[in-house]
A and B are shown apart, each in its own frame.
Chain A
């Protein structure tokens, strides 16, 4: 079975902090994705990566950056956390662009 692991289920940070959300997959998948999920807005794509050191902006990249130094790991960075980034963050990976995406358990991030 595909395993996508997110480093934290719950995280509380303060405004202005630099926040790192880590995601690791164990299936040698090429593609990795970061989404955020908000009530009434559904899931929205922040960034994705189709190869090591490659990244593409999704629909809402502002205020975020990503890093993919190794194939199995995709990090989401909040450069200077703000309260409007309080959300559920979901990482996903897929073998190919046309394969199903498999998700991690999510990180519920609160910015105070």
Chain B
């Protein structure tokens, strides 16, 4: 069973508008972490934001915020005021607790296109 599900293969958003990228996860661990990464066409993976399972407040980093709904097992990324440079692939990832060595499990990604 997939542990990280990103249901939107591709999305379009108008410049300066907000956009939400969906991510749901599946784990039986109580301690886990959720991450979002951005991958432009050039290939590098850029860390955006992190949410720990015990964090009570939603994480925010500049224009990025993570809408964490623990009971629903969702960790959606919200990008406010989209910019043309936000066009990229976005990956949701989860790190489970235990002795997995910090291994990340990635979703399939969402390709975001920002229109001028």
Give Cα A45–Cα B108 distance, bound, in whole angstroms. 14
Q: Give chain A residues whose Cβ lies under 8 Å from the Cβ of B25.
A: none
Q: Is the CB of A103 within 8 A of B102?
A: no
Size of B's binding interface in residues, CB under 8 A:
21
Nearest-CB residue, chain A, relative to B103:
A45
Contact (A97, B101) CB under 8 Å given A42-B107, A42-B109, A43-B106: yes
The reply to whether the CB of A109 lies closer than 8 angstroms to some CB of chain B is: no
The reply to whether the CB of B91 lies closer than 8 angstroms to some CB of chain A is: yes
Give Cα A23–Cα B48 distance, bound, in whole angstroms. 22
Interface string of B91-116 (1 = CB under 8 A from A): 10001000001111011110000000
Give Cα A50–Cα B100 distance, bound, in whole angstroms. 11
Give Cα A105–Cα B40 distance, bound, in whole angstroms. 10
Which has the most chain B C-beta neighbours within 10 Å: A31, A42, A48, A94? A42
Give Cα A45–Cα B35 distance, bound, in whole angstroms. 16
Which of B33, B42, B107, B108 makes the CB contact (< 8 A) with A98? Answer: B33
Give Cα A18–Cα B109 distance, bound, in whole angstroms. 32
Which residue numbers of A lie inside 8 Å of B, CB to CB? 9, 31, 33, 40, 42-43, 45, 48, 50, 56, 58, 88, 90, 92, 94, 96-106, 108
Apart from A101-B102, A108-B43, 7 more pairs, CB < 8 Å = A33-B103, A43-B104, A48-B101, A96-B102, A97-B101, A100-B35, A106-B45
